[in-house]
Amino acid sequence: MAKKLVTDLEVAGKKVIVRVDFNVPHKGEEITDDNRIVAALPTIKYLLEHDAKVILLSHLGKVDYKKTPEEIDAAKKKNDMVIVARKLQEYLPNNKVTFANATRGEELENAVANMNNGEVVLMQNTRYEKGESKNDEELGKYWASLGDLFVEDAFGSVHRAHASTVGIPSALPNAAGFLVEKELKFLGDAVENPVRPFVGILGGAKVADKLKVINNLLEKCDTLIIGGGMAYTFLKAQGKEVGQSLVDNEQIDYCNQMMAKAKELGKELLLPVDTVVAANFPDPIDGPIETEVVDSDKIPADKQGLDIGPKTAELFANAVKAAKTVVWNGPMGVFENPVLAKGTNEVAKALAETEGTTIIGGGDSAAAIKQLGYADKVSHVSTGGGASLEFLEGNGLPGVDIINEK
């Protein structure tokens, strides 16, 4: 059944708690990428235009409570949400945005009590509360007591059962926001009802990180492309020498099982036929590096693969251009280095030239497609790497599962 949407709620005059994803990259007080704030605006503006009182909750960065009190305080200072409040006010010049520098207590409660319709209160970082990531029941109920309704619009956090994503909607009438609706539609349609040919592209470092995704996508797609560091485990499983390349030796058998499964299902599984190698991993990561291109079965014993080669890039790009649906999760190499970004760039360019539906599954793939300038040329760039990965694995998302059905 379909989930309730924000448009199904009577919000006028109501205090609506919205879990947003304002976990934005920043240097000091400067936000270096505000895409996640922009992505949340449609839901926020809808609520404001319909005379709601909007209470926004989000985390920013991490706070490790196993560290020393001094380190915890430093993490909190680094991830103060006040910088987000300032940016949000710029996007909402006609609406009052109040920053409540607290996660519970009198300051927060007064800020909420003094709201008028069409105003916003942004609460301090949810992870300032130790119980947030543990889905502490008391904390979830306390936050829920601040509002009348709850809207889930933080796709980047719905794979986590936290107090702000699961605890609050457990205690309030709830619905999904426009961003979560959009994410679920693109990913759901692509995986469950794709226009074929359907091509899946998986990259990144380790096979172990994407065991279930490989297995699930093999059953759904027509062609599965494996690049990035994880490809070398597949190559080693084929009996090829991979030199010093990253290999997950515990997953050799699994790779053989997946290659056998692809053959059994009549699916095409594409692996690199050539690779860019170097003697050492770049240090710093974007620093100078000497490379050469070799066939994938001729990687020197003293070198490691760090990007797909030009023949592989062409092979992968041709498969992508022939597709009607493409889902991409994980870069083809160490894209942070311009010398080692060519493979990722060629795949990104192919996606930009594909006429079908092209979906980038968040995380490093989203960072790569933006860095390379193709973000506006694909159908959808997910705001949640971890959540999209869980979705592609075929798993439930706690923050979505808790939302009421229509």
**Active site residues per annotation:** 36, 206, 363, 386
For residues 4 and 152, the answer to whether their CB atoms sit within 8 Å is no
For 47-77, the DSSP string reads: HHHTT-EEEEE---S---TTS-HHHHHHHHH
- Strand (E) or helix (H) holding 40: helix 35-49
Helix (H, G, I), strand (E, B), or coil: what is residue 165?
Answer: helix
CA 6, 9, 14, 15 dihedral sign is negative
Residue among 356, 392, 78 at smallest CA distance from 198:
356
Helix axes 211-220, 385-393, angle to 10 degrees: 60
Query: In terms of DSSP H, where are the helices of 147-251?
Result: 178-192, 211-220, 231-237
Distances (CA, A) of 90 to 34, 83, 86, 102, 383: 12, 11, 7, 22, 21
Q: How far is the C-alpha of 158 from the C-alpha of 180, rounded, in Å?
A: 9
In 10 A of CB 94, how many CB atoms?
Answer: 6
Structure-token match 């798993």, residue found = 395
Residue among 304, 237, 221, 322 at smallest CA distance from 271:
237
For residues 312 and 227, the answer to whether their CB atoms sit within 8 Å is yes
Phi, psi of 249 (to 5 degrees): -60, -25
Q: How far is the C-alpha of 80 from the C-alpha of 76, rounded, in Å?
A: 6
Residue among 264, 165, 162 at smallest CA distance from 219:
264
Cα of 186 vs its chain's centroid, Å: 14
In this structure, which amino acid lies at residue 4? K
Q: How far is the C-alpha of 358 from the C-alpha of 220, rounded, in Å?
A: 16
